[in-house]
Structure 1
Amino acid sequence: MKFITDISEEKYEKFMKNNEYAHFMQSYRWGKFQEIATKRKAYYLGVVDDNERLIFASMGLKKSLYLGYSYLYLPRAFCIDYKNKELLDFFVSELKKFCKQEKIIFVKIDPAFILKKVSNDEKTIEENKDKDIFFKNLFSLGFISLGLNKLFESSQPRFTYRIDLTKSEEDILNNFSKTLKKRIKKCENFDIEIEEGDSSDIEEFYRLMRLTEERKTFIQHDISYYKDLFSIYNQGEYKVKLYKAYVYPKKVIKNYEDKIKRLTEEIEELKSHENYKKSYMNELLKQIEDSKNYIKEYTEVLNNYKKDKIILNAHIIIYYKDMCWALYAGNETVLLDSCSNYGLYKYHILDAKKNKCKFYDNFGAVSLDKKDHPLFGLNTMKQSFGGDFYEFSGEFDLVINKFFYLIFKLLIPIRRKIKYFFLKHKK
């Protein structure tokens, strides 16, 4: 066997195409995108057998630190069966040599190894029978577990909800919660229009992302990040899809005006009958009052935005092989009663099925034992789409240079506080 560090895209993706452990964060194009977006050098590492056949591959991102040192991050770690101790031993042994040559002080991984799967109703738990051998093999190679975090303390989410798209469309929709179904119905009644966009919509998507992230008090990415994602990742079999939900306020106002006219006529007709039901009359009057309130709200939005068409939500979904992940969602702060966000989710979930995806990953949740935490609202929303809950193994570090690793661990909390301060106050 031989360790290599410069696998071609064709050879790398040919290996990934037939690899059941492949992940979009381990794809060749994700590495190229990260080189531009985060200024990290991508290495396409692997092992070939005596016939030069690629039998192992993994993408690593080198982050520069100080004094020429760096660390290597392998997002979602190794695309390998972790029970294959011989191959794992060889790769990690050679990886350590490579890191010493490159002045890399440690390697960080966050494997896409599933520890357990919890059914949507939380009544059934499936533990991964291979988890003990997984941890044993990593620990034997020198990896240190950074713990089983409960929130979003790690580089990537440790929990997620996934929807099984191999089910029929009818079953997928039936698994939506009752509350979600009502919200989607409301979205449809509000004349929300939904469609797939393209790179020309990034400016509007970014505006919505700014609104969303400002509610979290910091901005995560510049607009160039999303433009680079489309231009670099979105090639060939790699797909980045942007979906948008929008409304024409004038059209909605006209529809409500027509509705008020119809309801008023119905009330007059009702009054001509002596034995009409007062409860029904009250319901008609309530509909008129609601319609007037919606007209007022849409008129205010129309006056403030001065646009005939207003995009309320925009989501970015990333595809890799027969899988997709809901990565980014930007949402308006107005017309929330339209429930357009939920209608948009339904649209791209079903579109993923039409595109023959096997699962849809809602990308990010918190631990199920954090029900009292403010972030648990994410779980409630994502659980409503009927997916099962997945827990991953967490982060691990492989220390190459103990002295500088300790220095790094002491300084990184300070650096994060400084970075957070500037992100929070970024215009």
Structure 2
Amino acid sequence: MNKESWNKFILENNGSFLQSYEWGEFQERACRRVFRFKCCGPPSSAGADFGEAMQAQFIEMPLPLGKKYWHAQRGPVMSRITKGQDFKEKIKNLIGEIKEKKCPGRIFFRLGLEWESGQGIEKVLLKLGFKQLPYDIEPSQTLILDITKSEEELLAQMHEKWRYNIRLAERKGVKVKFVISDITNFEYYFNEFYRLVDKGTSERKNIKHHPKDYYKKQLEINSEDIKFELFVAEYECKIIAANIVVLFGNRATYLHGATSSEHREVMAPHLLQWEQIKEAKKRGCSEYDFWGIVNEHTKDKRGQSWEGFTRFKKGFGGREVNYIGYWDYPLNKLWYFLYRLVQMARR
């Protein structure tokens, strides 16, 4: 499938970077198989094709005993005009296409549609035979900031303490740097990022991190459509905060973050976040996704660390968004039942 045409549809319909062609290539480099599906829209009265109405990129994930499942992270992506019955027909078509694609050992497939709750989509999925996961894979609650506003407006809508902290960090001499993967000192900055990630994880409960190579391979993703970039905050010649931000289409996503327990008084994370927002705005993005918060319904599942992250992110303003979560479609009901039993026992 052509990368350019694949991304064109995803971008035109405000899809997630997790459905980009490059994310699939990243997964393939991690030795996972990737499957892509395109479904065309219905013909018009004149016989012309409306073009692709839906695209779904699935990652094959291993399970014990040679079993596996397919996972569409934040997918499928549908054309913006999709509604009601049209949505149902597209999902039915996708189910049919997946069933036709023979794959020994596959027991279910998983959808993580980036659709906001409250539109009746959940009822449609239940009627089609999907089972809702009682937990998240990627966060279903997030905070999205409209960065088409001026810098003055963005500062004005922040909590006053956040504005103060940004100015404080500047006065204290915190410097923010944007690091690209092909500069000579990239290895130093990347190693500092991972040092903070590793140390921070050991200090906090309910927080996990990926292997070092996982982050490094992400930062090697750099094409015309998508870029993974490292931002660092430096104080007294030492890196004390570092984040990875993804730029895809009109959206910048704050994906990974790490902060030192030292020099907290200089408020480096506030300035770092603000400089990332300004850089995303400069690059032509219209929204900034803080990638995960908790609300009244999910805070008990995430723990105190997530409550702290949420307070920090909400201080910058933005609109709270609640997606419909993740949904499984069993292809082998017995094996799926056993899989869910094991998952519940582990949790």
TM-score > 0.5 by shorter chain = yes
Q: Larger radius of gyration, structure 1 or 2?
A: 1
Alignment of 1:120-131 (within 5 A): 128=118, 131=119
Equivalent runs, 1:50-65 vs 2, <5 Å: 53-65=51-63
Alignment of 1:2-401 (within 5 A): 7-20=1-14, 22-37=15-30, 39-48=31-40, 53-80=51-78, 81=82, 83=84, 84=86, 85-98=88-101, 100-115=102-117, 128=118, 131-132=119-120, 134-147=121-134, 153-199=135-181, 200=186, 201-217=189-205, 219-231=208-220, 233-248=221-236, 309-369=237-297, 374=304, 375-401=306-332
- Root mean square deviation of aligned Cα: 2.2
Structure 1: unaligned runs, 5 residues or longer: 1-6, 116-127, 148-152, 249-308, 418-427
Give the corresponding residue for 1:273. none
What secondary structure does 2:77 align onto?
Answer: coil
Gaps of 5+ in 2: 44-48
How far apart, in 2, do the equivalents of 1:23 and 1:212 lie? 27
Give 1:17 deviation, angstroms.
2.9
1:40 shift after superposition: 2.4
| 1:92–1:141 CA contact under 8 A, matched in 2 | no
> What is the TM-score with the length of structure 2 in the denominator?
0.87
Measure, in 2, the Cα distance between the counterparts of 1:237 and 1:27: 9
User: Greater helix share, 1 or 2?
Assistant: 1
Q: 1:369 and 1:230 mapped to 2: Cα distance?
A: 34
- Counterpart in the other structure of 1:424: none
Per-residue deviation, 1:113: 0.8
8 A Cα contact 2:76 2:112, kept in partner: no
Query: For 2:104 and 2:19, how far apart are their aligned partners in 1?
Result: 21
Map Cα deviations across residues 239-276 of structure 1 (whole Å, 9 max, x no partner): 1111111022xxxxxxxxxxxxxxxxxxxxxxxxxxxx
In structure 2, distance between residues paired with 1:67 and 1:29:
30
Amino-acid identity (%): 26
Deviations along 1:63-94, whole A, 9 cap, x unmatched?
Answer: 12244321011111211135323333222222
**1:256 counterpart residue number:** none
Cα distance in 1 for residues equivalent to 2:257 and 2:282: 21
